[in-house]
Amino acid sequence: MTDVDDTTAADAAEVPELIATHYLTSIDDVVEHIRAASQLGLGVRVRSYLEPDEDAQTYAERWELELLTSSPVSAEEVTE
């Protein structure tokens, strides 16, 4: 199945662009990246996932942080 993108030029201007993706191993690093992005006026999108540890039979939590040109949440979504 193919998704068709029928956004207008005005809608496209509102969509934040991806600057970089960072893969982090500690929550302290995630917080540091979020603070830096906030100071620069950039947006972030954070996802967490589990990854198997190499030495043990356990899983380690990891984070994917996308740095965006603006906030991925629109003002309309915040007010609802």
User: pLDDT per position in the chain (80 positions), as tens?
Assistant: 434 445 444 555 578 999 999 999 999 999 999 999 999 999 999 999 999 988 878 999 999 999 999 988 865 555 65
pTM for the model: 0.70
Beta bridge partners of 63: 24, 48
Helix (H, G, I), strand (E, B) or coil at 61: strand
